[in-house]
């Protein structure tokens, strides 16, 4: 895949990833959010095609079976299926945009096998604060909160696999950290597993 950067962002649910991303995307031109497909039901206020492509299980399976051109990665998260469309990512990268994938740890590992993403993990200051934020958002039932908190423990254990770690304690600092990472990655000359530098130096 050529073109713009592929930015993979992961965080335990309720950590503040959407809030941070919204502010960074408002400030930095050239970033495009990749809209995932999911079998999850929309939450109040979520718009089909903007937050997710909300699809039936059969539609999701049909795209998943169309490999390698269907999904760049897919995973079951909190009991629902989620996937990133190859076509969508290629279209945005081809237009020269940097593409942001908001995906989980399993998805990040799959993307790494097929592309060269910049991977960023956003962590909460503590599990207690994560629980407060999840409850404060008011979008989950008690059972869903318990499931998401349980998954958060497992996800936090994978934070070390990412290129960058941002702790979302103060929102303004977390926004500044993400902005800075993207700006630095846009200036980076060496990329790829061989660490080779292009260009010439006489």
**CA-angle at 51, arms to 45 and 54, nearest 5°:** 90
Contact characters 99-138, ligand 5GP, x per CB under 6 A: ---xxx-xx-------------------------------
Is 88 a binding residue for ligand 5GP by CB under 6 A? The answer is no
Is 13 a binding residue for ligand ADP by CB under 6 A? The answer is yes
Restricting to residues 171-200, which ones interact with ligand ADP according to CB under 6 A?
171
- 71-77/80-85 β-pairing: antiparallel
C-alpha–C-alpha distance, residues 118 and 21, integer Å: 15
With CB under 6 A as the contact rule, the residue among 19, 23, 25, 40 that binds ligand 5GP is 40
Q: Which is nearer to ligand ADP, 19 or 110 (CB)?
A: 19
The beta-strand segments (E) located in the chain are: 6-10, 31-33, 37-38, 53-54, 71-77, 80-85, 98-102, 118-123, 164-167
With CB under 6 A as the contact rule, the residue among 84, 111, 168, 178 that binds ligand ADP is 168
Which sign, positive or negative, has the C-alpha torsion 51, 104, 80, 12?
negative
C-alpha–C-alpha distance, residues 145 and 12, integer Å: 11
Name which of ligand ADP, ligand 5GP, none residue 124 binds, using a CB cut-off of 5 to 8 Å depending on partner kind: none
Is 165 a binding residue for ligand ADP by CB under 6 A? The answer is no
C-alpha–C-alpha distance, residues 154 and 65, integer Å: 28
With CB under 6 A as the contact rule, the residue among 7, 63, 77, 123 that binds ligand 5GP is 77
Name which of ligand 5GP, ligand ADP, none residue 19 binds, using a CB cut-off of 5 to 8 Å depending on partner kind: ligand ADP
Q: Which residues here bind ligand ADP, judged by CB under 6 A?
A: 11, 13-19, 133, 136-137, 168, 170-171
């Amino acid at each position: 895949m050529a073109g713009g950067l592929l930015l993979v962002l992961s965080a335990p649910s309720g950590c503040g990833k959407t809030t941070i991303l919204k502010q960074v995307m408002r400030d930095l031109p050239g970033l495009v959010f990749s809209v995932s497909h999911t079998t999850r039901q929309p939450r109040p206020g979520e718009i089909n095609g903007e937050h997710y492509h909300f699809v039936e299980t059969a539609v999701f399976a049909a795209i998943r079976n169309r490999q390698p051109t269907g999904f760049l990665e897919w995973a079951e998260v909190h009991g629902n299926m989620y996937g990133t469309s190859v076509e969508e990512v290629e279209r945005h990268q081809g237009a020269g945009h940097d593409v942001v994938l908001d995906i989980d740890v399993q998805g990040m590992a799959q993307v790494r096998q097929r592309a060269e993403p910049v991977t960023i993990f956003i962590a909460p200051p503590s599990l207690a604060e994560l629980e407060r934020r999840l409850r404060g958002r008011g979008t989950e039932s008690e059972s869903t909160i318990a499931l998401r908190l349980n998954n958060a423990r497992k996800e936090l254990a994978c934070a070390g696999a990412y290129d960058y770690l941002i702790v979302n304690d103060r929102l303004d600092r977390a926004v500044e950290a993400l902005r800075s990472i993207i700006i630095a990655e846009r200036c980076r000359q060496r990329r790829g597993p061989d660490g080779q530098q292009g260009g010439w130096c006489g």
